[in-house]
């Protein structure tokens, strides 16, 4: 399976970086099956970036958590991760809170809206895809294929 990572740099050796804020599935190396989504990640700041491509070879011996769709469990998992609670998984895969859904999740985390209000708002939004690698063992499932410079065509 081919996965994509959008970045401001070439990433031929993926690594897990601790950032100043917690992401949907906690700290990890994030990819997607959707190249257009990775291009958005790569170009979001100044319109130019790199689309890194990897061959992903699943290893079922790893601890993998999959969320096929947005569910109560998915929402609770994201809230926990964004609050800085680590998890025990090597790889987590599931819907990505796009910009609009991200705001709804953050409003829920901050107590500005209820769980019911979150689901009412998110019901008509289509999430995108993300797969995150959280351990060095998980990163061994990725093999760098190539990189392309990309530009925001807007």
CA atoms 66, 113, 29, 144: torsion sign: positive
The confidence score (pLDDT) of residue 102 equals 80
pTM: 0.89
In contact, 34 and 67? CB cutoff 8 Å: no
d(CA 23, CA 139): 18
- 50, pLDDT greater than 90: yes
- CA angle 147-150-154, nearest 5°? 160
What confidence tier does 154 reach under pLDDT thresholds 50, 70, 90?
A: low
Q: Quick one: average pLDDT of 89-116?
A: 89
């Amino acid at each position: 399976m081919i996965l994509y990572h959008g970045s401001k740099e070439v990433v031929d050796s993926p690594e897990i970086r601790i950032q100043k804020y917690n992401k949907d599935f906690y700290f990890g190396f994030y990819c997607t099956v959707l190249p257009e989504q990775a291009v958005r990640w790569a170009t979001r700041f100044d319109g130019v970036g790199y689309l890194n491509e990897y061959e992903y070879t699943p290893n079922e011996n790893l601890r993998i958590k999959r969320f096929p769709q947005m569910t109560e469990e998915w929402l609770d998992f994201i809230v926990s991760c964004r609050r800085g609670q680590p998890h025990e998984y090597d790889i987590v895969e599931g819907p990505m809170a796009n910009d609009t859904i991200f705001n709804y999740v953050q409003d829920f985390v901050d107590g500005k809206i209820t769980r019911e209000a979150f689901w009412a708002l998110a019901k008509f939004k289509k999430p995108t895809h993300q797969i995150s690698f959280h351990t060095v063992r998980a990163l061994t499932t990725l093999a760098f294929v190539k990189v392309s410079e990309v530009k925001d065509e807007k």
